[in-house]
Amino acid sequence: MSAAPAGTKGNPLGGEAIHDELDRRAAEVADQVVAWRRHLHRHPELSNREVNTARLVADRLRALGLDEVRTGIAGHGVVGVLRGARAGERVVALRADMDALPVRDLCGTEFAAETVDSDYPGGPFPVSHACGHDCHTAALLGAATVLAGARDRLPGTVLFVFQPAEEGPPVTEQGGARAMVEAGAFAGPVPTMAFGLHVTPHPKGYVGYRVGNQYGASTLVRIVVTGEQTHGSTPWEGVDPMPAVGAVLTGIGQLYRQVSAFDPVTVSIGHVEDVGRFNIVGQTVTLWGTVRCAVEADTARVKDRLTTLAEHSAAAYGATATVEYLQSVPPVHNSGPWVEAGLPTFRRVVGEERVVETGGTLGYDDVSEFVSRFGGLYVMLGVQDATLDASGRPVPVPGGRGLVTNHNPHFYADDDTLVTGVRLHAHVAYDHLAGTLVPRAAG
């Protein structure tokens, strides 16, 4: 945390300067935010199963006396509506995602989860907040507390958007950000800005931003390679799908050479599902993976080449392949005018030296559905024992817990950074409603 810069003191209304008040209220709620975070971390829920998380969120929002608390939106989505007491036309949507991942929790804290979801499709799975959405949810509850306390001074409306299924629901279900939009979560009032953040392996308390695509476009891919089942001792009596699968996996490594090396692309197969046995050549093998493109325009080409690769590799071995693309998510795009408008706020919250430009990544976040519709911003919040090297890249601090990527079982986020998330949400919300965080040109 940094001292408030000149300009926020000396309130003409004679009371406490608003940004100081937001910071004071954030400090007051900080311990509670840590407690919420630890509780959520210990009780993680998979995408589209955020029953208890959503209940906790709704209960807290109701306790704050918000004007409305809407629940059950696109599954377990919750939207709290806070109308400020002062006149204002603007509406800011602050968003947190609530779901956890099918990853064992090896974060090493006393509040590590031991949860197993036995009923989830494809499971049972160990469950943990390996992407840090527990931090997002707790920080936004903290911001709701701060802003509800300051509602007399708010010139506009704040929507607290708690989103389910950011990590992608089971393929047989709908869910996530787009489903919330389609369910009418933003039908009224319509946001004039959306804001989201993500905890990340950057130095603690740093805000990373990028003009352009912060995150890439994403598509889930399912490839089913079909042969003909037979006895393991007589493969020639059937069609073995395994060699075709091997060819597809190897060939994927060559797809990169068909896209400009200056716009990164990844295709990863993270899950292979077969129906064979050591003495049975199985009928089918299903590959599950993800396609990420830094530039959305590359997506169609990569999908096309991957489909060709799978179909023809399978054909070479007498098998067939079907390729489907599911759960497409557009890139998270920060426009230049919005970033320019947001930088003074970020610098006030964390200090100028801690606001850094970062490269884009091929992660995805379906907050893009909100930011691209309503305008707004998305930033990274550093939460690990890191520092920046001479080229601006995060490197581990000696003696610290190291750099651990999201989705790794060892992923961790320091409790001390949560209050920074609270302050970011609160300052962004106030500044937008007050008209100081508004893009000058159409964004």
| Residue 204 in tokens | 């603690």
Q: Are 259 and 294 in contact (CB under 8 A)?
A: no
CB of residue 331 vs Zn ion: minimum separation in angstroms? 15
Contacts of 188 (CB under 8 A, 6+ apart): none
Alpha-carbon span 272 to 280, nearest angstrom: 17
Q: Which stretch binds Zn ion (CB under 5 A): 14-22, 124-132, 186-194, 335-343?
A: 124-132
Q: If DSSP codes are grouped into helix, strand and coil, which group holds residue 194?
A: strand
Between 131 and 194, whose beta carbon lies closer to Zn ion? Answer: 131
The alpha-helical segments, DSSP class H, found in 183-332 are: 242-255, 298-316
Alpha-carbon span 3 to 5, nearest angstrom: 6
Phi and psi at 184, nearest 5°, equal 85, 20
Distance of CA 301 to the CA centre of its chain: 25
R_g of the chain computed on alpha carbons: 23
Between 33 and 131, whose beta carbon lies closer to Zn ion? Answer: 131
Between 131 and 329, whose beta carbon lies closer to Zn ion? Answer: 131
Residue number with the shortest CB distance to Zn ion?
131
- Choose among 399, 346, 352, 408: nearest CA to 377: 346
Alpha-carbon span 430 to 381, nearest angstrom: 19
Q: Which stretch binds Zn ion (CB under 5 A): 24-32, 120-128, 131-139, 173-181?
A: 131-139
Assess 281 for contact with Zn ion (CB under 5 A).
no
CB of residue 217 vs Zn ion: minimum separation in angstroms? 15
- Choose among 116, 146, 111, 128: nearest CA to 24: 146
Assess 131 for contact with Zn ion (CB under 5 A).
yes
Between 131 and 341, whose beta carbon lies closer to Zn ion? Answer: 131
CB of residue 204 vs Zn ion: minimum separation in angstroms? 18
List Cα–Cα distances, 53 to 97, 152, 398, 430, in angstroms: 11, 29, 36, 26
Alpha-carbon span 198 to 383, nearest angstrom: 10
Between 131 and 380, whose beta carbon lies closer to Zn ion? Answer: 131
Residue in the structure block whose two tokens are 């509850």: 141
CB of residue 57 vs Zn ion: minimum separation in angstroms? 17
User: How many residues form the binding site for Zn ion (CB under 5 A)?
Assistant: 1
CB of residue 332 vs Zn ion: minimum separation in angstroms? 11
Assess 242 for contact with Zn ion (CB under 5 A).
no
Taking CB under 5 A as the criterion, which residues in 79-98 touch Zn ion?
A: none
Taking CB under 5 A as the criterion, which residues in 158-177 touch Zn ion?
A: none
Q: Which stretch binds Zn ion (CB under 5 A): 48-56, 123-131, 152-160, 224-232?
A: 123-131
CB of residue 135 vs Zn ion: minimum separation in angstroms? 10
Q: Is the dihedral of CA 277, 280, 282, 283 positive or negative?
A: negative
Between 160 and 378, whose beta carbon lies closer to Zn ion? Answer: 378
Q: Which stretch binds Zn ion (CB under 5 A): 51-59, 125-133, 274-282, 351-359?
A: 125-133
Alpha-carbon span 40 to 100, nearest angstrom: 10
CB of residue 104 vs Zn ion: minimum separation in angstroms? 15
CB of residue 101 vs Zn ion: minimum separation in angstroms? 6
CB of residue 123 vs Zn ion: minimum separation in angstroms? 18
Between 21 and 97, whose beta carbon lies closer to Zn ion? Answer: 97
Footprint on this chain of Zn ion (rule: CB under 5 A): 131
